Amino acid sequence: MELYKKSAAELSEMLRKKECSAFEIAESVFSRIEKVENKVNSYLTLCKEEALEKAKLVDKAFSDGKELHPLAGIPIGIKDNISTKGIKTTCASKMLENYVPPFNATVVEKINSADMVITGKLNMDEFAMGSSTENSYFKLTKNPHDLERVPGGSSGGSAAAVAAGEAIVSLGSDTGGSIRQPSAFCGVVGLKPTYGSVSRYGLVAFASSLDQIGPIGRTVKDVALLQSLICGRDKMDATSREIGAPDFAKELKSNLSGLKIGMPKEYFGDGIDSAVKQSVMNAIKEMEKAGATIKEINLPSTPYALNSYYILSSAEASSNLARFDGVKYGYRTPEYENLIDMYEKTRSEGFGDEVKRRIMLGTFVLSSGYYDAYYKKAKLLQKKISEEFSLAFENVDIIATPTVPSTAFKIGENIGDPIKMYTADICTVTINIAGLPAISVPCGFENNLPVGMQLIGNKFEEQTLLNAAFGYEQLVGGFKCLPEIV
């Protein structure tokens, strides 16, 4: 088997048994990239030369008998809104087309300290605003399972790269489902950690109170390995929490006996494709057969969550993106008459339609006369949603839902209808609003397209969540086969 088809855990073991080298792994991944990248379009920037040099250094460290991190030598792709020193970080926007950061994000520092091999920067929806990666200024990423369909978003490049074998693991960011939704569409595993468990320092902000960096891999164990590496308190991020030094992969358990799973009826009603619903319910039944207990629960504020999310996230986006004005860095319009004219033209030319739409919505809901009517009510609803989840977790260990209401839709099918596009996040936004962890795991196929099951955990209960996902994965054998790309 080609090395790019192996999981991170398998490759880690092979490196230690001297069955392969880090250089061979990197070469295998870049060979795969050369073969399929022109069809999938996962990457915005490739770092082949630097990656191969890093792989050689890892091999030397192994030959010198040094103790290295379990992920040492494993190729990883980075979403292009995570700051990488000396490597372009564009957020898939004309506004940052030529921006090269002078510093690394904290997660990138941790990746470097573990001697992982960075393959490059991955495509995304501009400034992480979108559900299909069709909002990228540079290129259109395609779903490896069907090149006529979207990979999801905004971390579409991150999920597609792992699904296509162009990276062993990747990092994405999740503001309202941007790790889980593309993971479901592409048939991989994606974890949105508890808010505050992973440092956001160096992540270009969309909505600061909702954004969270997280791992994507082909197996639950790979995701657990990467989450163990990137999580923890960071003095550069005041919202990060001290959670010790967990080893999620080492503590993985596949026993589902006694696990209490909540099924919220609000996530299995109208608007969810019947085939998706059936796949997820079948997966839950398999977990029940293995000893889990299923309990129907209510999360009554769920129907209003999408409204709350887009008000809150757009309000924060309006504030966060005010810094992109053509003064300090990034794109500046070449012709202008005065300072105000420069601001207007720079932002009009530098931002895409979806980003402008959300900035305008956010500015509106924060404006005088509308703050109480919209933003304040959205914040009250956020509190209500959090309380409902807290109440639910008094009786269950995890909550199971579909990740996305449908399988991957066709390129261009929804891009002209923002409301229809926003509903792709209907199952995922509540988790960001409440600051909870959630993972998407493949649970089947419908018309040869992957279906994802979302498992939701209580705050900082990632181990319980990962154990449940691992237990299900072991039960069904996982879905590790890479799609044929022709």
Q: Any idea which residues carry the catalytic annotation?
A: 79, 154, 178
Q: What phi, psi does 381 have (nearest 5°)?
A: -65, -35
Q: Tokens 């400034």 sit at which residue?
A: 127
CA-wise closest residue to 262 among 283, 284, 277, 279: 284
C-alpha separations of 384 from 312, 321, 405, 465 in Å = 14, 28, 23, 23
Nearby residues of 36 by Cβ (< 8 Å), 6 or more positions away: 144, 164, 165, 166, 485
What are the structure tokens assigned to 466, written together? Answer: 């990962």
Q: What is the CB-side half-sphere exposure of residue 424 using CA atoms within 13 A?
A: 32
Provide the 10 A C-beta neighbour count for residue 456: 30
In which order are the strands placed within the sheet that holds 189-192? 43-46, 117-122, 75-79, 169-174, 212-217, 189-192, 438-446, 449-457, 398-402, 260-264, 293-297
Whats the size of the chain, residue-wise? 486
Q: Tokens 């919505």 sit at which residue?
A: 361
C-alpha separations of 484 from 10, 145, 146, 157 in Å = 22, 7, 9, 18
Alpha helices in 367-461 (DSSP H): 376-392, 418-422, 429-434
